[in-house]
């Protein structure tokens, strides 16, 4: 079979491949389904809401961060959006070329830049976010309000675990060494 597999097919294949391996299958299923749900929601929202506004998911997230928090240093926007500073540079240029955000020099440090929303960006987000939220509600339609609250609480606990203990765990796994720099995955030229 080619193409995307259903959730049931994927879980069956994982069980067939790894069922006898001593792993935390419960944790693997939980985190794999977080990823799968996030990817499904992202694809659905991009195709149903964001494409009409000519936005990518990442572009929308950057707009949302600046819309919610106001003017920020670009490095903080990248951190809040969960993207690299390099990725933010390209996204911010695109959003700026569309008149949705403005990049300006930092008032006291010329090496840094600030990102703020324009009136056009504010108008777009005020119009777009209700449609975005309607698709969030659509995605969660099989859950009751109490189940949505429970799921949100459980996911907050996963995030808190990583925020509170992730750095120490990484240092432990790397025996105190700094992580190696990220690479594109392409073969190195010698």
108 domain residue, yes or no: yes
Helix (H, G, I), strand (E, B) or coil at 190: coil
Query: How much of the chain is in helix, strand and coil states, percent to nearest 5?
Result: 65, 5, 30
Q: Is 157 helix (H, G, I), strand (E, B) or coil?
A: helix
Residue 30 inside a domain? The answer is: yes
Collapse the DSSP code of 105 into the 3-class scheme (helix H, G, I; strand E, B; otherwise coil) and give the result: strand
The range of the structural domain enclosing residue 125 comes to: 23-142
The verdict on residue 187 lying in a domain is: no
pLDDT 10s digits, 81-132: 999 999 999 999 999 999 999 999 888 887 889 999 999 999 999 999 999 9
Dist. CA 185–CA 190, nearest whole Å:
15
Q: Does residue 16 surpass a pLDDT of 70?
A: yes
The 113-117 sheet, strands edge to edge: 72-73, 113-117, 101-105
- Residue 43: inside a domain: yes
Q: Is the dihedral of CA 5, 7, 11, 14 positive or negative?
A: positive
CATH of the domain at 84: 1.10.10.10
Which tokens is 7 given?
Answer: 């959730």
Tell me which H or E stretch contains 114: strand 113-117
8 A C-beta contact, residue 73 and residue 113: yes
* pLDDT score, position 157: 97
Query: Does 148 map to a domain?
Result: no
Residue 179 located in a structural domain: no
Distance CA 67, CA 125 (A): 7
Residue 27 within any structural domain of the chain: yes
Model confidence, pTM: 0.83
Q: Is 117 exposed, middle or buried (0-12, 13-18, 19+ CB in 10 A)?
A: buried
- Residues 6 or more apart whose CB falls under 8 angstroms from that of 70 comprise 116, 117
* 121-167 confidence digits (pLDDT tens): 999 999 999 999 999 999 999 999 999 999 999 999 999 999 999 99
- Please check whether residue 34 lies inside any domain of the structure: yes
The predicted structure's pLDDT at residue 10: 80
């Amino acid at each position: 079979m080619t193409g995307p597999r259903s959730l049931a097919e994927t879980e069956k294949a994982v069980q067939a491949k790894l069922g006898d391996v001593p792993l935390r299958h419960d944790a693997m299923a939980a985190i794999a389904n977080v990823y799968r749900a996030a990817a499904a929601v992202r694809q659905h929202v991009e195709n149903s809401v964001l494409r009409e506004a000519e936005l990518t998911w990442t572009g929308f997230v950057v707009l949302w961060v600046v819309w919610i928090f106001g003017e920020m240093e670009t490095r903080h926007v990248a951190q809040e959006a969960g993207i690299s500073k390099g990725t933010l540079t390209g996204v911010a240029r695109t959003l700026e070329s569309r008149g949705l955000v403005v990049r300006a020099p930092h008032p006291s440090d010329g090496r840094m830049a600030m990102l703020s929303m324009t009136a056009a960006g504010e108008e777009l987000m005020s119009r777009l976010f209700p449609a975005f939220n309607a698709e969030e509600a659509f995605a969660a339609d099989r859950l009751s309000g109490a189940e949505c609250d429970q799921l949100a609480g459980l996911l907050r606990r996963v995030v808190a675990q990583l925020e509170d203990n992730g750095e120490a765990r990484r240092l432990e796994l790397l025996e105190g060494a700094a992580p190696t720099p990220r690479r594109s995955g392409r073969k190195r030229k010698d």
